[in-house]
Amino acid sequence: MTDISVIEAALEDVAKGRFSAVRLIEGRVSLVLNVSGLDVRDRGQIEIAVKGKLLELDGVEKVDVVMTAEKVERRLIAVGSGKGGVGKSTLSTNLAIALKALGHKVGMVDADIYGPSQPRLLNCEGRKPEAEGKQLIPVPNEYEVPVLSMGHLAKPGQAIAWRGPMAGKALEQLVNAHWGDTEILIVDMPPGTGDVQLSMMQNHKPVGALIVSTPQDLALMDAVRAVDLFEQAKIPIIGMVENMAGYICPHCGEVSDPFGAGGAEAAAKTMGMSFMGRVPLDIEIRKSSDGGEPPACSDSLQGKAFHDIAKRLATWLGDH
């Protein structure tokens, strides 16, 4: 005759310590399953496995499963700039991959509603997110950094001509998705200081912002405006990254600085914030990014630049 010990032994085979509160009353088994960290498919599979296993036991006629999950403390890191074309999206992608390599559970939100690029950078173009109820399920990819982007929802090449309220609702869907056990969300912000940025800061409260700039004065002027916007919203500034900093000639090895040198570091010092590091102006970064192969996946010098910044970011996260 089946008893609780037999049921628990059967559950151990399929639920591996995730079950509790097992009861058996007149052929009816009830139990609680802890599904923390499992995505929708895995939750469904474990429930089916549990019910199938128990219904094979003598005397078990019905199985009731209640699923619970611990709430994950999820922190948002905004990667912003005052203008476009400074490499913010590329930095976001590679930081996410580098943080994952450090052992963090990382996801990516492409908040650039009007100009999404994360599907290309993470090599998952053409994939549509599924949904669980009203929540989107992030799109998987070979780099194991789940991502959501308007690029996954709009048709290829479609112009997204939305006013602020519609863009804000779209952002809400991307952020409040079914992120599972993801602990850190890197948010690739749109350029400038408009409606989407305000919605992100007011409604989702990033724990910190990383500012990206190229070294020249015009870019730095806009970066200062981005810093001011985050400070007005009381979002801590983690630091500044200088992108496109120095070009090494592949033929002679000479370093030149078409955009200037050290401007972002000097600006960070003037504003009393941390300087997080430099990313070189390198054609390999452009080629690999366009090909959906983030440099942070390699042990190249280009990849090392992103990993060094990610380590500083991880240190900041550990202190806050």
Joined together, the tokens standing for residue 222 give 């806009």
Letter string b/e over residues 265-275, b meaning 16 or more CB atoms within 10 A of that residue's CB: bebbeeeebeb
Pairing of strands 247-248, 255-256: antiparallel
Going by C-alpha positions, the residue among 299, 271, 79, 84 that lies closest to residue 184 is: 79
**3-class DSSP string for 118-167:** HHHHCCCCCCCCCEECCEECCECCCCCCCEEEHHHHCCCCCCCCCCHHHH
Distant-in-sequence, close-in-space partners of 115: CB < 8 Å, separation ≥ 6: 84, 190
H/E stretch holding 307 reads: helix 301-319
Q: Which residue positions form the known binding site?
A: 82-89
Q: Which residue positions form the known binding site for ATP?
A: 82-89
Q: How many helices and strands, by DSSP H and E, does the chain display?
A: 11, 14
**DSSP category for residue 250:** T
